[in-house]
Amino acid sequence: MRQLSKAFDAGVSAAQTSMVNAGWPRIRRPDVVDVAGVRVDLAGVSQARKIVLVEGGSDQAALEVLARRRGLALGRGALGIVAMGGATSIGHFVRLLGPRGLNIPLGGLCDAGQEDHVRGALQRGGLSPAASRVEMEACGFYVCTADLEDELIRAVGTAAVQQIIATCGELRSFRTFQRQPAHRQESVGQQLHRFMGTRSGRKSQYARLLAGAVAPALVPRPLDRVLAGT
Per-residue pLDDT reduced to its tens digit, 63-81: 999 999 999 999 989 999 9
* Ordered strands of the 50-54 beta sheet: 79-83, 50-54, 106-111, 141-144
Q: pTM (2 decimals)?
A: 0.86
Whole-number pLDDT of residue 130: 74
Whole-number pLDDT of residue 29: 53
Whole-number pLDDT of residue 87: 95
* Of 11-25, 98-112, 198-212, the least confident: 11-25
**Region 31-56: what's the mean pLDDT?**
92
Which of the two residues, 174 and 11, has the higher pLDDT score?
174
Q: Which of 96-100, 137-141, 159-163, 197-201 has the highest mean pLDDT?
A: 159-163
* Of 7-11, 82-86, 93-97, 137-141, the least confident: 7-11
The answer to whether the CB of 118 falls within 8 A of the CB of 146 is: no
The three-point CA angle 109-111-117 to 5° equals 90
Mean pLDDT of the chain: 89
6 pLDDT higher than 50: no
Could you tell me the sign of the dihedral formed by the alpha carbons of 143, 145, 147, 150, in that order? Answer: negative
SS3 102: coil
Contacts 24+ apart (CB under 8 A), 69-74: 69/211, 69/212, 69/216, 70/227, 72/227, 72/230
For the stretch 134-175, pLDDT in tens is 999 999 999 999 999 999 999 999 999 999 999 999 999 999
Domain ranges of the chain: 2-147+221-228, 149-216
230 pLDDT higher than 70: no
* Of 34-43, 77-86, 163-172, 206-215, the least confident: 34-43
SS3 55: coil
2 pLDDT higher than 90: no
Would you place residue 30 in the very low, low, confident or very high pLDDT band (cuts 50, 70, 90)? Answer: low
Q: Which of 3-12, 43-52, 201-210 has the highest mean pLDDT?
A: 201-210
